[in-house]
Amino acid sequence: MEKRDQLYEGKAKKVFATDDPEVVLVSYKDDATAFNGQKKGTILGKGAINNRVTNHLMRLLEHHGVPTHLVRELSERETLVRRVSIVPLEVIVRNVAAGSLSKRLGLAEGTPMQKTVLEFCYKDDALGDPMVNEYHIAAMRWATEAELDTICRYSLKVNQVLGDYLKDLNIQLIDFKLEFGRTADGTVILADEISPDTCRFWDTVTREKLDKDRFRRDLGGVEDAYQEIMKRLMGE
Ligand code: UDP
């Protein structure tokens, strides 16, 4: 498959066309941003780790019946994925209070949720990705009712599969963000990435943070945390 024109450059990834109109090439960068782009930096080796971790977890999810955009890993930081049009929502799944939920509801970080919480944010950088509910989503036609049902079902399934898998590696899945896309025929599949950039991972024993919060909060040991996640997942 041949790499063609760059279609898009985001904060953490570049996307290129290929000679197959149904397939695009994603290239993961070491650039890191937080707080809607206000904090910028580099996490050395992040692109390669996020590429490999995402693909590893997407393969696991495929195996458990969640359809994903993954086609084939090409190199350390490049992967072929199915071309989709992204549903303009960030789906956030929460098992334990942290980050913006802790702030919003005045909950100590680490407070377990008595039921899994799903939240939706409208993807719009200029608006700061505002939280929306199912009524906004229907009124704005961001997704049909049937699509939203599918998205919620897949999101809860992802939480169950990843939560069980990570538990055995002494990693607690605190929360994470998913994005979905529609293929040319309208099928909804999981897209984007699943990595320490988009999940909160805490060591089950030490409660140490092994994710992007180390960058967001200047906790140090950012590269080591990403490396540790890759090591636990893939043994290297
Ligand atoms: N998240 C993300 N991208 C975003 C916002 C959140 O990947 O634009 C992830 C984040 O890493 C965390 C979860 O979604 O795992 C919940 O994030 P939260 O709403 O607490 O926002 P934050 O505190 O990260 O601003």
| Domain 3-82 = CATH 3.30.200.20 | yes
Q: Say how many Å lie between the CA of residue 68 and the centre of ligand 1.
A: 21
Residues with CB under 6 A from ligand 1: 90, 92, 98-101, 129, 175-177, 198-200, 212
Q: Which residues of 135-156 are buried (b: 16+ CB within 10 A; e: fewer)?
A: eebeeeebbeeebbebbeebbe
Look at residue 1 in the predicted model and tell me its pLDDT. 78
Q: Do domains 3-82 and 85-221 have the same CATH topology?
A: no
Probe target for ligand 1 pocket from 198, 201, 213, 222, with the most ligand atoms within 8 Å of CB: 198
Query: Looking at the domain 85-221, which fold is it?
Result: D-amino Acid Aminotransferase; Chain A, domain 1 (3.30.470)
**Three-class DSSP category at 206:** coil
Give dist(CA 218, CA 236) in Å, integer.
25
Look at residue 159 in the predicted model and tell me its pLDDT. 99
> Is there a contact between 160 and 167 (Cβ–Cβ < 8 Å)?
no
Q: Of all residues in the chain, what percent are helix, strand and coil, respectively (each to 5)?
A: 30, 35, 35
> Is there a contact between 120 and 91 (Cβ–Cβ < 8 Å)?
yes
Phi-psi category of 99—alpha, beta or left, where left has phi over 0 and alpha has psi -120 to 50?
Answer: left
Q: Say how many Å lie between the CA of residue 211 and the centre of ligand 1.
A: 11
Look at residue 145 in the predicted model and tell me its pLDDT. 98
If one counts every other C-beta atom within 10 angstroms of the C-beta of residue 1, the result is: 12
> Is there a contact between 50 and 155 (Cβ–Cβ < 8 Å)?
no
Look at residue 188 in the predicted model and tell me its pLDDT. 98
Q: Whose CA is nearest to atom 3 of ligand 1?
A: 198
List of residues 6+ apart from 50 with CB closer than 8 A: 12, 28, 193, 195, 196, 197, 226
Give the residue extent of every domain in the chain: 3-82, 85-221
Give dist(CA 28, CA 11) in Å, integer.
10
Residue 102: enclosing H or E segment and its boundaries? helix 99-105
Pair type for strands 199-203 and 78-82: unpaired
User: Which atom number of ligand 1 is nearest to the Cα of residue 177?
Assistant: 14
List of residues 6+ apart from 231 with CB closer than 8 A: none
Residue numbers of the chain with a pLDDT score lower than 70: none
Look at residue 65 in the predicted model and tell me its pLDDT. 98
Look at residue 221 in the predicted model and tell me its pLDDT. 98
